[in-house]
Structures are given as C-alpha cells and as structure tokens.
A and B are shown apart, each in its own frame.
Chain A
Amino acid sequence: MELLYGIFVDPFVQMWEFPDLLVQVLWEGFVSGTLYALIALGFVLIFKASGVFNFAQGIMVVFGALSLVGLYAFGVPAYLALILSIAIMGVLAYSVERVVLRPLVNQEPIILFMATIGLNYFLIGLGEMIFGGEPKTMITEELGLPKGAWDFEMLGGFVSIQRIDAAAAIIAGILVGGLAIFFNKTRIGRALRAVADDHQAALSVGISLNQIWRIVWFAAGIVALATGIMWGARSDVSFALSIVALKALPVLILGGFTSIPGAIIGGLIIGFSEKLAEFYWGPLVGGSIESWFPYFLALIFLWFRPQGLFGEKIIDRV
C-alpha cells in the first residue's frame, strides 16, 4: 500500500506543492534531452543515407571536443582551433568512407555495425594517444559562449538556468534548422534524400554514393563537434561521455531510425522522462535509475509501435 502510494500519489503531490522544483527538473530534462537529440541526429543522418548503424557517433562527439580542446592546449587560437577541428572531422569522414565503408559496400548491416565498433575503439586509442586520456575542461569563454546562470523568482521559489544550457538549446535549434534547409532546398540535400530512399535508384540517376556518404559523415561529424562543445561545457571532456552517448539509442527507438524530427522529439521525451523518473520515482528503488530507465521506456514503447514515432513502417516480404 505504501509502495503504491509512493508510486501513484506522492510524486504528484510533490509536483503540485513545489512547482518551482518541477520547473527546474523539467529544465534539466530539456537540456539533457537536447544533447541526446543532437547525438541521435548524428546517428539518423548516417543511418538514413548509408544504412550504417554508426556506433562510433558517441566517440565522434568526444573526438571532436577533444581535438578542439587539445588544439587550443597546443597554443592554437580558439576560433582557429574550431575551424581546424571541423577540418579534422572532414578528414575523418573522408577516411572512414575510403577505408571502412567503401570496401564493405553491400555487406550485411551487422558487419557494418561491427566495423563502426572497431572504428569506435580505433578512435578511442587515437584520441588518447594524441591528446591524452585525462578529462579536460572545455574552452567555453574563449569561444564566446556565455557563462553563469539566470535565477528566476517564480512559483514561490527559485529556478536557476545555466546560460550555457540556453545557448546549447539555441545552437541545437539552429543546427536542426540548417540541416532541414540543407536537406530540402539544396541539390546535395535532394541527392541525400534520394540515396536514403533507394540506393540503387539513386545510383541509376547518376548520384555518387561515395560522395554522398562522405558528405553525410562530415555533417554527422559537425553535429558531433557541436554536441561535444555543448556537453563539454556542462561537464568535462572525457571518454566517459561515449557511454552516456549510448542513451541516444533509446531516443532513436522512440523517434525511429530514419526520422530527423523523430530524433529531436524522441530526445526531448527521453530527457524529460528520465529526469522526472530519477527525481520523483528514483528514491523508491535506491536511485540512479537514470542509467536504465530510458531503455525500458523505449522497450515499452516498442511493444506498441515497433517502427518508432516517425519511422517508416517496416514491411517484410518473403
């Protein structure tokens, strides 16, 4: 009885009595949701265009952030370091396409997936060797990102909003908007969508698959870099992030593997629900349920809609 009370009544009473706390929790959820959405966005970009489930997206986030911080530590000015890191992501995209994807064309999806796990390990080793394995601080000030927090007095309490989080949300919005325009209005964007729709048909009208893959991996790399900067500003830049990045997987399930709006909305749902669950229901079972709650949510969701919120319907034919 007490347990039922703890599950169904207590949390809601708490929410009603301390609305300022609720707003704070929701804001936290929104911020982590944005970050999950950004990682998921990188996954979706690559999955749509090449059918590769890119396990290394999480490490690309770390790698992007690391090269930025590392270059700055080597004495390169902040903005030049940013441009150079974008260039590094470009080189990475080019070499991934040349060395990994091209020889593996037409292989089973699981083989490609495994190859990205291999890439994951390779990048961990490379990143640690060049920039060192210890956690680093993101160069937020040098990049002109805001610092500090706004404190709002509202709903009978204080709500504190980190400026950097707000900036992250805005930048995420700009990125998504930019990608949407790129996909819908430009020539390359149309080619990308054609490839996502049907590889063979796209080939037959003269679209170069290799070029499209390079562009897509580059785009995913830039998204990863932006994610890395935002995430690094909240906590340190370290390889622990690559495990957290796995949270993007339930996001993908919620939103569907092939849908960009799905990635955004899925990310926000996961972010909100994870923070709410952790804060209000977590203490019942001993806390830290953040680590597995999103996966269970996704699992329950899958039971009813196996293709995700916005995913294309899966039709099997013999």
Chain B
Amino acid sequence: MLYREAGQFKTNYRADQAVFPIRQDFIGIAALLAVLFLVVPFTFNDYWLNAIMIPTMIFALAAIGLNILTGYAGQLSLGTGGFMGVGAYACYKLVTIFPEVNVLIHILLSGFFAAGVGFLFGLPSLRIKGFYLAVATLASQFFLEWAFGRVAWLYNYNPSGAIEVPNQYLFGVAIAGAPASSVTRYIIVLTIVVALALIASNLVRGRFGRAWMAVRDMDIAAELIGIRLLPTKLLAFSISSYYAGVAGALMVFMWLGAAEVESFDINHSFLILFMVIIGGLGSILGSFLGAAFIWNLPILLRAMPKYFGADINAATVEHVQFMIVGGLIIFFLIVEPNGLARLWSIAKEKLRRWPFPY
C-alpha cells in the first residue's frame, strides 16, 4: 500500500528516465544510506565492520566493475583479480613516490592505472569473443600475478614480497594503516563505493550504457546501427578495470592493511564473477546483493555449527562450505538465472499490487 506510484505524474522525459523514477525508491535509498552512514558506524562493533561491512562494500565495488564489463557489455572476463591487484600495487607505488599527497587521492588515481592495463588487455576483444575472450583475460590474470611476484620494484624490494600500508592521516585523523579505526575506514569505503555506484548507475542508463547493451545483445547488429565496436568495448574494459582497481586499492589500504600476490589470484576473479552472476548480470543493485550473499554465506556457515552446539572441526566445515557454495551456485542458476536482482524486482512488482492479487 505504501509502495505505489499512483499520483506521481511525469511531465517530461527527463523525469521519466531518472535514476529513481518512483518517489518511494528514492526515499528508500535515502533511508538506507542514512542508516549506513549514521547508524551503522555507532552501533556495529569492530568485528562486524571489519569482517562483514567493509569487505562486502569493497567486493560490491569490484562486482560493479565486472558487471559493467560482463553484464552490460557482454564481455566475459576472468581477470578481475589481476586488475584489482594493479590498482593495489599502483596505489602502493603512488604512496611511496608521493608520500605528501593524501592516500584518498591515490586510491582514486590508482584506478586509472588499472584502467590503462584493462584497456591493453581489452584490445583483443575486437577480434575474439565469448569463451575465447575469457581465455584472453586469463592471460592477463596469470601475467599480472607473475609480475606482482617477480618485479621487485612493485613491492619496493621488500624481502617478504608483500606490500604494507603506511600510516596516513587526514586533518589529524588516522585514515590508513594500523592506527586507523574501523569506523573511519568504514566511512571512507562507504563514501567511495556509494559515489562510484551512483556514477555507474548513471553511466549504464546513458548513451554508453545503451551502446554496451546493444553490443552485448548482438555485436554485429550494434555495428550496423552505427555503434563503433572497438571504442565501445575498450571503454567498457577501461571503466570496468577502473572500478576493479579502486576496489583493489581499497581492499589493501582500507581493509587488509597488507597484501601479497595471493590476495589477487584467480580465485578472487572467480569469487567476483560468482557475485555478479548470483547477484544478477546487468544490475548495479545485483552487484551489492551478490557481494553480500557470496561474502557472508561462508561466514554464516562457519558460525552455524556453534549455534546448534555441534562440534565439527574446522576442516570439515571448510569442505562443506565449498560444497554448499558450489551447490548453491548451480541451484541459483537453475531456479533464477537472472540472479538476486530479479528476485528483488519480482518482490517489488508484488509489493506494488499488495494487498490485491492483481
């Protein structure tokens, strides 16, 4: 009864195509953001912020990046982990070279390095498509992994081969490194993720987004109606890698505090691909839902036996977790190939008619 657009008249196209055409959506999002910004930091404890909220947000950002490429532009990529790594290592080098510039600027800048690398590895996409392209992106994944491990300059010749985050301050408040509180880091991550997500949702509804979707649905037809394939695909690769790069930089600087090659291996690429597929291909909201689902499911599974008082050893839980995640992926694909975002939109349709059946 509350969720109904009766009486909301649109008098021009601009209003009709707004991000939130229905007023209740706008109010809902605003309320959610208010809770995330004002309530969560003061009520959640460190464990919740560090283990659940921050990683979910960061992975959602990476998932948005991959969703732009795979869900909107239709180019399957298995190299997201590598691009996240480029962002993280670029940010680390920037912090080393320009220590006086604030790390927040570095984080946003480091995405451009990832975008450049994504551009390069997107070049083959004009000639090859589908699974062949997926293998091409695997080339980037393995090459970047190798480079992170072998090029000592990238990790400042640190004997451990890991990158560590130096302490950083903004207006006297610690924002990165060991002294930064999880509340500060949470607020920073949330702000960046929300801003970039808004930009993304505007991008995909605009000219670029429509060009991407045309290429996804049938690239030859898109070419015939005058969309230039190479710039469109490369733009998708660059923007997608930018998001992944920023997510990678956030992951190291705002969450882990230190990272090595293994933090960006192929399993991460798959993890983010899962998030996109489970959340829903071609949906920004789906990226958040997918990230929340995939990231928190194992945490929930680990916590389960404790609540039931069952004494199961950690290794078994790990194996069962693999099986459940794998099984759930298959289950979701069978029941709802369009992901959680589709479930949400079905729920919204139902809500609009409630309490009447039609």
Chain A interface residues toward B at CB < 8 A: 53, 99-100, 103-104, 107-111, 113-115, 117-126, 128-129, 133, 243, 246, 249-250, 252-253, 257, 285-289, 291-292, 295-296, 298-299, 302-303, 306, 316-318
Q: Which residues of B contact A318 (CB under 8 A)?
A: 218, 220-221, 224
Complex A-B, nearest 4 residue pairs according to Cβ-Cβ distance, in ascending order: A125-B322, A122-B326, A121-B326, A118-B329
Name which of B219, B322, B337 has the most chain A CB atoms within 10 A of its CB. B322
Contact partner, B333, options A114, A286, A291, A303, Cβ 8 Å = A114
A243–B266 touching, CB < 8 Å: yes
**Cβ of A299: which chain B residues have Cβ within 8 Å of it?**
124, 136, 139
The answer, among B131, B315, B330, for a CB contact under 8 Å with A119, is: B330
**Main SS of chain A's interface residues?**
helix
**CA–CA, A291 to B141, complex, Å?**
10
Write 5 A-B pairs (CB below 8 A) sorted by A numbering: A110-B70, A118-B327, A296-B143, A302-B127, A316-B220
* Chain B residues within an 8 Å CB radius of A109: 130-131
Q: Which residues on B sit within 8 Å (CB–CB) of A53? A: 131
B325→A121 contact, CB < 8 A: yes
User: Which of A111, A120, A295 interacts with B143 by CB under 8 Å?
Assistant: A295
Q: Which residue of A lies closest to B223 (CB)?
A: A318
A37 to B131, CA, bound (A): 18
Check B323 against A114 for contact (C-beta < 8 Å): no
Cα–Cα, bound, A32→B127 (Å): 29
B273 in contact (CB, < 8 A): yes
Interface hits, B188-239 → A, CB 8 Å = 218-221, 224
List of A residues within 8 angstroms of B149 by Cβ:
288
B274 CB to nearest A CB, Å: 7
Shortest Cβ gap from B173 to chain A (Å):
41
One of B76, B146, B274, B330 near A292 (C-beta < 8 A): B146
Q: For chain B, residues 302 to 357, give those with C-beta under 8 angstroms from any C-beta of chain A.
A: 315-316, 318-330, 333-334, 337
Question: From residue B136, how far is it (CB to closest CB) to chain A in Å?
Answer: 5
At the interface, yes or no: B3 with Cβ under 8 Å from chain A? no
Residue of B whose beta carbon sits closest to that of A53 = B131
B135 at the interface (CB under 8 A from A): yes
User: Are A253 and B315 neighbours in the complex by a CB distance under 8 Å?
Assistant: no
Q: Taking the nearest CB of chain A, how far is it from the CB of B221, in angstroms?
A: 5
Find chain B residues with CB under 8 A from A129 CB. Answer: 316, 319-320, 323
B124 near A302: Cβ-Cβ < 8 Å: yes
State the Cβ distance, A208 to closest chain B Cβ, in Å.
Answer: 21
Given A133-B315, A253-B132, A292-B143, also A117-B323 (CB < 8 A): no
Q: List 4 additional A-B contacts (Cβ < 8 Å) besides A109-B130, A246-B138, A302-B124.
A: A108-B337, A115-B329, A133-B315, A292-B146
B139 proximity list for chain A (CB < 8 A):
250, 292, 295-296, 298-299
Q: Which of B143, B146, B219, B333 contacts A118 (CB 8 A)?
A: B333
Q: Are A121 and B329 in contact (CB under 8 A)?
A: yes
Please name all residues of chain A whose beta carbon is closer than 8 Å to the beta carbon of B277 when the two chains form the complex: 111, 114
A294 to chain B, nearest CB (A): 9
Taken together as a complex, chains A and B put the C-alpha atoms of A316 and B224 apart, in Å, by 13
Chain A residues whose CB sits within 8 angstroms of the CB of B138 once the complex forms: 246, 249, 295
A113 near B322 (CB under 8 angstroms)? no
Question: Nearest chain A CB to B41's CB is how many angstroms away?
Answer: 34
Which of A123, A125, A126 has most chain B Cβ within 10 Å?
A125
Q: Which of A109, A124, A302 has the most CB of B within 10 A?
A: A302
- Chain A CB within 8 A of B145 CB: yes
How far apart sit A89 and B58, CA to CA, in the bound complex (Å)? 40
Within the assembled complex, what's the spacing in Å between the Cα atoms of A55 and B23? 44
B142 at interface by CB-CB < 8 Å: yes
A286 CB contacts on chain B under 8 angstroms: 150-151
Q: Chain A residues near B323 (CB, 8 Å)?
A: 121-122, 125-126, 129
Q: Does B270 have its Cβ within 8 Å of any Cβ on chain A? A: yes
Considering the complex, give the chain B residue whose CB is closest to the CB of A289. Answer: B146
Contact (Cβ within 8 A) B326 A291:
no
- Check B273–A117 contact: CB distance below 8 A: yes
A291/B132 contact (C-beta < 8 A), A111-B337, A124-B326, A243-B266 known: no
Task: Tell me whether A119 and B128 are in contact (CB under 8 A).
Answer: no
- CB contacts (< 8 Å) of B218 on chain A: these are 318
- CB nearest neighbor in B for A129: B319
A296–B139 CA distance with the chains assembled, in angstroms: 6
In the assembled complex, the CB of A238 is this many whole angstroms from the nearest CB of chain B, namely 15
Given contacts A111-B333, A246-B138, contact A306 B146 (CB under 8 A): no
Residue contact B329 to A114, C-beta cutoff 8 Å:
yes
Q: C-beta contact mask, B72-111 vs A, less than 8 Å → 1, else 0?
A: 0000100000000000000000000000000000000000
Nearest neighbor of A296 in chain B, beta-carbon distance: B139
- Chain B residue nearest to A107 (CB atoms) is B337
In the assembled complex, which residues on chain B have CB atoms less than 8 Å from the CB atom of A128?
315, 318-319, 322
Known contacts A292-B143, A295-B143, A318-B224; is-contact A117 B329 (Cβ 8 Å)? yes
* Binary per-residue interface labels of chain B (113-135) against chain A in the complex, 1 for a CB within 8 Å, 0 otherwise: 00000000000100110111001
Measured between beta carbons, the chain B residues less than 8 angstroms from A291 are 142, 145-146
In the complex, what's the smallest C-beta–C-beta distance from B269 to chain A, in angstroms? 11
Q: Which of A119, A121, A250, A289 is B135 in contact with, Cβ under 8 Å?
A: A250
Within 8 A of A (CB), among B143-197: 143, 145-146, 149-151
Q: Within the complex, which residue of A125, A252, A292, A306 is in contact with B128, where a contact is CB–CB below 8 Å?
A: A306
Q: Which residues of A contact B143 (CB under 8 A)?
A: 292, 295-296
A100 to B149, CA, bound (A): 38
Instruction: Output the least CB separation between A131 and chain B (Å).
Output: 10
Residues of B within 8 A of A110 (CB): 70, 76, 281
In the assembled complex, the Cα of A55 lies from the Cα of B351 at a distance in Å of 39
Cβ–Cβ < 8 Å partners of B319 in chain A: 125-126, 128-129, 133
Chain B residues near A288: list those with CB within 8 A.
Answer: 146, 149-150
